[in-house]
Structure 1
């Protein structure tokens, strides 16, 4: 398993719309893209414009097949209202969340 951490800058005035689009997008990816296992979103308590989304994938190969040119069509609407700062993949070593 891997986790991919996406860092975003989203204007406060766009956050509600970004959240709706992200929800639709992440669920569509989870349902249609092989290896996609879902995602969650975090928003900074100190800077409301800083948003992190963390996606779970079954393998690095599955994510790379999706990621392709680093601009997957599934994420176009998110990129229209939020600036993606970075995307970093990490091997999942352990998860004790419930």
Structure 2
């Protein structure tokens, strides 16, 4: 099953996508600037093979729901997300708020 719904983070709207897969869930919170995802996101691929694309993305590990993702912290980020001062260890909500006003 795939669930797509708007969510609010301190008054800003993002889109939450959750896909139930065998033995795991694929989780994404995004807007038109960038996104955060569960551990399924391959940051190294984005940084190495797709570095010519300015992809703003971050990954959290150990999360199983959209709520857990929203309350989590960034484990790894793309090189282009540094434009928004995203760093490993940063709370997901804080990262999302940096791209909310764009």
The TM-score, its normalising length taken from structure 2, stands at 0.28
Determine which structure has greater relative contact order: mean sequence separation of CA pairs < 8 Å that are 6+ residues apart, divided by chain length.
1
The TM-score, its normalising length taken from structure 1, stands at 0.29
